[in-house]
Homo-oligomer: A and B are copies of this chain.
Amino acid sequence: MKKEKYVILSKISNPKDLKKLSVIELKELANEIREVLINKISITGGHFGSNLGVIELTIALHYVFSSPKDKIIYDVAHQTYTHKILTSRKNLFLDESKYKLSSGFTNYLENENDIFTLGHTSTSIALALGLAKSRDLNNETFNVISLIGDGSLSGGIAFEAFSNASEIKSNFIIIINDNEMSIAENHGSIYSIIEKLRNDKQYRDSESNIFTQLGYKYDYLENGNNIEELVSFLTKYKDINSPIVLHIHTKKGYGYELSYLDKETYHYRNPFDIKTGKNLSFQARTFEVINREYFKNKLEENSNICLICAGTPKNFNFTKEERNTYKSRFIDVGISEDLALLYGVGLSKGNTKPIVSISSSFIQRAYDQIAHEIGLNKPNMIVLVDFCGVGKTSSTHQGSFDVSMISNIPNITYLSPSSEEEYISMLDYCLTHEGTFFIRLYGGEVLHNNISVNKDNLMKFEYLKEEENIAIIGTSKMYGFALSLHEKIKKEVGNNSVFVTHQLSTLDYDFLDNLIKKHKVLITIEDEYLDGGFGQKIASYLSSKNIKVLNYGIKKTYIDNIDLNDIYYSNRIDVDLIIEDILKLN
């Protein structure tokens, strides 16, 4: 902790303090904050490029406007480190012992300047619209400002809100933070229009300007990392009485040269060496790493597949160069998960096999495509659901909804590999068989075992250890835990069986009917929400039969910044606690 280094920052506790500074001091403050952020992210990891790019803009916003009276809504909120520093939370970024306490997103419970808790994209204009409407109904007066990145403009709800918010006939400020990037490169013709706005003053000032057509005033600032210009630009539109789009050009990763060479990597960085930019964290063998090897081979074999992602090509772990090599069969639709899935349904009807990869937290944005177009049309397609399970530390990016969301839709097989070996055999199976397969991929290091699937066992439950009395199933990455539990029970209680399932959408009724003949207790363990999940299906089927079922999983709640072991323990996913529960049964 070298607080004394930060001369200006030491004077700032909240946005009011900011207003006492001169523009020269604001610039110095930006430099200080930049150093703080680079330091902090290099140690803990975090969103790098987005945060570095808006340091000046955030300072200018808090200098010109008066938060929390004026409402600033940050889209995705993955660019709010400076906002947090300026709103009473600088110690989370200065004091290394507190680093882990800072959530990467806004959280309304944390601070009155955080209007919403959120971490998903493209929603800020819609939320701002409600705030502005309420203000007008109640005859209040304040500025409503949504700050949205160009990458977020590909999400349809941003467009819906643009179209509707033009009906507001009072203050409504949309700032487009244009850093010419999504997480990776942008996709879609909306970005040709954004580019034209940057480069063509005549177009900007004409009635053709797309935002003018949509009912907005419009202005553009080229130097979005220049505080002086930002302050005078924003001051001009403070308290404006109509909807306006302020298009501000910033540089992603501004002030850290190494990031310019590879903006995609610097979108989110794990711990790294500041001088060299080198990764300091160990690269585990994750499902994403496996995907790259597997699908590169398949593309080389020239099979009739297409890989699709929605703004997160890293799910396949392909480099930019590799994406280019296979570009006719590697489709990035931008941040539009619903489009990614429908694109896949269309491909499938045309007899091309799509493999779509979407993170668990983001596939929520395409529930209707799963329950409607996919369920109804039974396309031959594979959907990889990435980063499933609890373990992510932010309440905004939980991977714990996927089982209740996907496994309860008809006509979908929700596969759930426990290991690399099982996963590879599943991919081989799915590529050579008809059907709609979603595959649940947990985050982190992938386990190993010798489980595999084929057409005869895909929908079956199978014993790993067949004994008697107590039966255990641990799904997905709880496979390992189930084995530990087996050992401990064996030692302390006696014989017990372990079985596995390859999928979470259907029960193997024959297996269960046989199981109850020699077992009195069945234990299910999942690493996602218990409610709506797999264990409850088993409990429902067996609850009229002569066996006791104990379901373990995560209680439905948002989990913020809690150690994984604590989450498990508080949900009684612990060998000793489970044995305690078994012994209490009568």
* Chain A interface (Cβ < 8 Å from any Cβ of B): 108, 115-120, 123, 126-135, 137-138, 140, 154-164, 166-167, 187-193, 206-208, 210, 213-215, 304, 306, 328-329, 331, 333-334, 336, 338-339, 342-352, 354, 364-365, 367-369, 371-373, 375-377, 395-396, 401, 404-405, 407-411, 529-532, 535-537, 539-540, 542-546, 548-551, 556-558, 581, 585-586
What residue in chain B is nearest A105 (Cβ atoms)?
A: B376
| C-alpha spacing A549/B549, complex, angstroms | 12
| C-alpha spacing A352/B140, complex, angstroms | 12
Among all A-B residue pairs, the 5 with the closest Cβ atoms: A130-B346, A156-B156, A134-B350, A163-B188, A367-B367
Check if A158 sits within 8 Å of B157, measured CB to CB.
no
> A119, A135, A377, A540 — which one has the most chain B CB atoms within 10 A of its CB?
A540
Cβ contacts under 8 Å, A345 to chain B: 116, 127, 130
> A163, A192, A405 — which one has the most chain B CB atoms within 10 A of its CB?
A163
Check if A408 sits within 8 Å of B339, measured CB to CB.
no
| C-alpha spacing A536/B544, complex, angstroms | 12
A-B contact sample (15 more), CB < 8 A, given A118-B377, A155-B160, A410-B558: A118-B376, A119-B372, A123-B373, A126-B338, A127-B342, A127-B373, A128-B346, A130-B348, A131-B349, A138-B352, A160-B334, A189-B214, A206-B208, A365-B368, A543-B550
What residue in chain B is nearest A333 (Cβ atoms)?
A: B164
Given A371-B364, A410-B557, decide whether A350 and B188 contact each other with a Cβ distance below 8 A.
Answer: no
Check if B540 sits within 8 Å of A157, measured CB to CB.
no
Cβ contacts under 8 Å, A556 to chain B: 408-410
What residue in chain B is nearest A365 (Cβ atoms)?
A: B368
Cβ contacts under 8 Å, A405 to chain B: 367, 405
Cβ contacts under 8 Å, A408 to chain B: 401, 404, 529, 531-532, 556
* A-B CB contact pairs (8 Å), 14 listed: A116-B345, A116-B373, A127-B342, A130-B347, A137-B328, A155-B156, A164-B189, A166-B188, A405-B405, A407-B531, A535-B540, A536-B536, A540-B540, A545-B548
Q: Contact check: which of B117, B162, B210, B331 meets A210 at CB < 8 Å?
A: B210
Cβ contacts under 8 Å, A137 to chain B: 304, 306, 328-329, 352
Check if B530 sits within 8 Å of A346, measured CB to CB.
no
Check if B376 sits within 8 Å of A336, measured CB to CB.
no
Check if B160 sits within 8 Å of A188, measured CB to CB.
yes
Q: How distant is A213 from chain B, measured CB to nearest CB, in Å? A: 6
Q: How distant is A382 from chain B, measured CB to nearest CB, in Å? A: 14
Cβ contacts under 8 Å, A344 to chain B: 130
Given A126-B343, A345-B130, A346-B129, decide whether A544 and B540 contact each other with a Cβ distance below 8 A.
Answer: no
